[in-house]
C-alpha cells in the first residue's frame, strides 16, 4: 500500500474516524495494531507471519530478561536468541540467494557440479527496518536502558506502527513505547494541520520530483555502456536528487501521518545535501539508521576510544555494514567501503567539518567574514558533492560491468558532450530541468527558514490555501501515469 494511493487514503481516514469513536486507550491500541497489520498484508498476506514471529521472539526475550537482574548471565542467552533470530530471518530472505549464487560460481570454476538451491521468494517489504527496530529494543532491555514491555499489544504496535513500518524512520523503544502508554488519543487541529503539511510536502517531492527525475536516471543507468562522461555525471546528479526526494518524501509523509494522530517521530533528514563532508552527510542522512549503527555497532566496537588505528577499522566496519544493510550486491559493498574510506581520510586529514555548526554557511555574519565562511563552505561542498555523486553511482548501478564502466567514465572525465542516440527525449529533459531547478530553489528556501512544512504552519489561512491550490494543480497536471514504489522499499 503506497502513501500516494486511494487505498492508503481510505485506511488513514478510517483510522482517524475510529480514533474519535473509540474512547478507551486499549481499544485505540488494538485498532492501531489491526490497521498496521492490514497495511503490511496489502503487499503479501503471508509475510505477516514474519513480522508477528519477530515480534513474539523479541517480546518474549525482553520479558524474560526483565525478570532477571542486570548482569545475570541468563540475560545474555535471551539477547542472543533475539539477535540471532532476527539476523537469521534477515539473512535468509535478503542475502541467501546472493551468497548462494557467488558460491555456485566459485564451485563451477573448481569443476564442482553440485550447487546450492535458490529461494524462490520475494524479499519481504521493510524487513530491514522492522528487524533493526525490534532488535534494538531487546538490546536496550539487556543494557538496562529501558524496562521490558509487559503488554504484547503495545509492543506489537511499536514494531508494526504502519506510518513508518516499511521504510522508516527506525524507531527506538525508549522514544515511542512511552507514547503508546496509558492515555486516550485525542485528535487536535494543530496536529492535523501540521501533519497534513508534512504529508503534502512529501507527496510533492515524491510525485513531482523523484518520479519525474527518475525517468532520466533510468534511461542513463539501466544501459550506461557507451554513454559519455557528461551523461554519466548527469545521471549521478539526477540520482542524488531522486533518492533524496524519494526517501525524504516517505519520511515526511510517515512523520506527518503519525503527527496527525498525535505521535512524535524524530526527523530522519536534516538537509544532507548542504553537508560539506561525507562525515557530516551521515549525521544528516537517514539519521535513524546512522545513529542505530553508531549506538549498536560503532560504540560497542570501541568507537574512537581505542586508538587511531582501531578507530579507522571501526569506521570501515560500520560503513561496510551500512552499505550491506541496503542490499545483497557487490555495488552495496563498494558503496559502504567507499564511504568508509572517505570518512577515514577525512578524519586522518582533519577535513571533517564542524558537525552541528548552527551557521555553517555564515548566514548570520556580515561583510568579509560572511564571504570568507561562505567561500570555504562552498569549496568543501563542491568536493563533497563530487564524492557524493560518485557514491550514488555505486548505489544505483548493480551490474558489475556497468558499474565499472560508469565509475571510470565519472572519474576519468572525457569531456565528450555529444548526446548520440541514447533517447534523451524520452525523459522530457525540459520538464526535468524545470522541476530540478525549482526543487533546488525551494530546498534552499526550506533550509533557510528551517523547514517548509513548519514555515507553512505559521502562515495565514489565505497563504496556506493558495499553496494548497498550487500544489494540487501541479499534482493534477504532472501526476505520473505509472505507480512507482519508493526506492527504499527494496531494503
pLDDT at 91 over 60: yes
pLDDT given at position 395: 95
Cα 326 from Cα 129, distance rounded (Å): 10
pLDDT class for 419, splitting at 50, 70, 90?
A: low
Largest CA-CA distance found in the chain, in angstroms, rounded: 74
Per-residue pLDDT tens digits for 101-133? 878 888 787 777 767 788 777 788 889 999 999
pLDDT at 353 over 80: no
Handedness of CA 229, 231, 233, 235 (dihedral sign): negative
Cα 491 from Cα 486, distance rounded (Å): 10
pLDDT class for 283, splitting at 50, 70, 90?
A: very high
The active-site residue, picked from 197, 264, 286, 326, is 326
C-alpha distances in angstroms, 361 versus 353, 364, 373, 441? Answer: 12, 9, 6, 16
- Cα of first residue to Cα of last residue in the chain, in angstroms, is 16
Which residues are CB-contacts of 426 (< 8 A; sequence separation ≥ 6)? 215, 219
Cell reading at 226: 557507451
Which residue's entry shows cell 527496530?
133
Cα 281 from Cα 387, distance rounded (Å): 11
Cα 295 from Cα 282, distance rounded (Å): 14
pLDDT class for 100, splitting at 50, 70, 90?
A: confident
Q: How many helices (H) and strands (E) does the chain have?
A: 20, 0
The fraction of the chain above a pLDDT of 90, given in percent, is 67
| HSE-CB of 489 using CA atoms within 13 angstroms | 14
Packing angle of the helix pair 211-221, 367-396 (nearest 10 deg): 60
Q: Are 333 and 313 in contact (CB under 8 A)?
A: no
Cα 159 from Cα 229, distance rounded (Å): 45
Cα 42 from Cα 48, distance rounded (Å): 10
Which residues are CB-contacts of 70 (< 8 A; sequence separation ≥ 6)? 143, 144
Q: What is the mean pLDDT of the chain?
A: 90
**For the residues of 146-178, what is the DSSP string, one character each?**
SPPP--HHHHHHHHH-GGGTTT-PPPPHHHHGG
Q: Are 285 and 360 in contact (CB under 8 A)?
A: no
Cα 160 from Cα 401, distance rounded (Å): 39
Q: Are 257 and 197 in contact (CB under 8 A)?
A: no
Per-residue pLDDT tens digits for 145-192? 999 999 999 999 999 999 999 888 999 999 999 999 878 889 999 999
Cα 1 from Cα 10, distance rounded (Å): 11
Cα 151 from Cα 428, distance rounded (Å): 53
User: Is 326 designated active site?
Assistant: yes
pLDDT given at position 339: 96
pLDDT class for 475, splitting at 50, 70, 90?
A: very high
Q: Are 50 and 134 in contact (CB under 8 A)?
A: no
pLDDT given at position 425: 60
The residue that leads in pLDDT, 342 or 432, is 342
pLDDT class for 423, splitting at 50, 70, 90?
A: low
Handedness of CA 442, 391, 359, 298 (dihedral sign): positive
Per-residue pLDDT tens digits for 376-400? 889 999 999 999 999 999 999 999 9
Lowest mean per-residue pLDDT among 151-155, 248-252, 257-261, 422-426: 422-426
Amino acid at each position: 500500500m503506497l502513501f500516494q494511493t486511494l487505498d492508503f487514503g481510505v485506511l488513514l481516514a478510517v483510522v482517524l474516524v475510529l480514533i474519535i469513536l473509540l474512547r478507551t486507550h486499549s481499544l485505540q491500541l488494538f485498532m492501531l495494531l489491526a490497521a498496521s497489520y492490514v497495511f503490511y498484508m496489502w503487499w503479501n498476506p503471508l509475510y505477516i507471519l514474519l513480522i508477528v514471529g519477530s515480534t513474539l521472539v523479541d517480546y518474549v526475550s525482553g520479558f524474560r530478561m526483565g525478570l532477571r537482574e542486570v548482569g545475570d548471565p541468563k540475560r545474555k542467552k535471551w539477547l542472543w536468541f533475539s539477535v540471532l533470530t532476527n539476523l537469521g530471518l534477515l539473512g535468509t530472505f535478503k542475502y541467501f540467494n546472493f551468497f548462494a549464487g557467488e558460491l555456485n560460481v566459485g564451485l563451477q570454476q573448481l569443476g564442482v557440479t553440485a550447487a546450492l538451491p535458490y529461494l524462490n521468494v520475494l524479499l519481504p517489504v521493510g524487513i530491514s527496518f522492522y528487524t533493526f527496530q525490534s532488535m534494538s529494543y531487546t538490546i536496550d532491555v539487556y543494557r538496562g536502558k529501558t524496562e521490558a514491555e509487559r503488554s504484547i499489544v503495545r509492543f506489537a504496535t511499536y514494531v508494526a506502527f504502519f506510518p513508518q513500518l516499511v521504510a522508516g524512520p527506525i524507531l527506538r523503544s525508549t522514544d515511542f513505547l512511552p507514547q503508546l502508554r496509558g492515555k486516550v488519543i485525542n485528535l487536535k487541529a494543530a496536529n492535523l494541520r501540521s501533519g497534513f503539511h508534512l504529508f503534502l510536502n512529501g507527496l510533492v517531492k515524491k510525485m513531482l520530483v523523484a518520479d519525474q527525475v527518475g525517468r532520466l536516471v533510468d534511461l542513463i543507468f539501466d544501459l550506461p555502456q557507451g554513454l559519455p562522461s557528461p551523461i554519466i555525471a548527469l545521471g549521478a546528479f539526477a540520482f542524488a536528487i531522486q533518492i533524496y526526494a524519494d526517501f525524504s518524501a516517505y519520511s515526511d509523509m510517515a512523520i506527518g501521518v503519525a503527527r496527525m494522530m498525535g505521535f512524535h517521530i524524530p526527523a530522519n533528514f536534516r538537509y544532507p545535501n548542504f553537508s560539506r563532508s561525507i562525515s557530516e552527510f551521515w549525521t544528516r542522512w537517514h539519521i535513524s539508521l546512522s545513529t542505530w549503527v553508531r549506538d549498536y555497532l560503532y560504540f560497542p566496537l570501541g568507537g574512537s576510544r581505542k586508538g587511531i588505528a582501531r578507530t579507522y577499522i571501526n569506521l570501515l566496519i560500520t560503513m561496510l555494514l551500512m552499505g550491506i544493510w541496503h542490499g545483497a550486491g557487490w555495488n552495496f559493498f563498494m558503496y559502504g567501503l567507499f564511504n568508509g574510506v572517505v570518512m577515514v581520510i577525512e578524519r586522518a586529514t582533519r577535513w571533517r567539518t564542524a558537525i552541528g555548526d548552527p551557521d555553517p554557511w555564515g548566514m548570520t555574519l556580515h561583510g568579509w567574514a560572511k564571504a570568507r565562511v561562505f567561500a570555504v563552505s562552498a569549496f568543501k561542498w563542491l568536493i563533497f558533492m563530487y564524492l557524493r555523486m560518485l557514491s550514488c553511482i555505486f548505489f544505483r548501478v548493480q551490474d558489475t560491468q556497468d558499474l565499472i564502466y560508469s565509475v571510470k567514465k565519472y572519474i576519468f572525465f572525457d569531456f565528450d558532450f555529444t548526446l548520440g542516440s541514447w533517447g534523451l527525449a524520452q525523459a522530457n529533459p525540459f520538464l526535468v530541468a524545470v522541476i530540478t531547478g525549482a526543487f533546488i530553489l525551494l530546498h534552499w528556501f526550506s533550509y533557510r527558514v528551517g523547514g517548509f512544512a513548519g514555515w507553512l504552519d505559521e502562515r495565514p489561512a489565505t497563504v496556506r490555501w493558495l499553496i494548497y491550490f498550487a500544489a494540487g494543480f501541479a499534482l493534477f497536471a504532472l501526476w505520473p501515469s505509472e505507480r512507482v514504489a519508493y526506492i527504499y522499499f527494496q531494503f
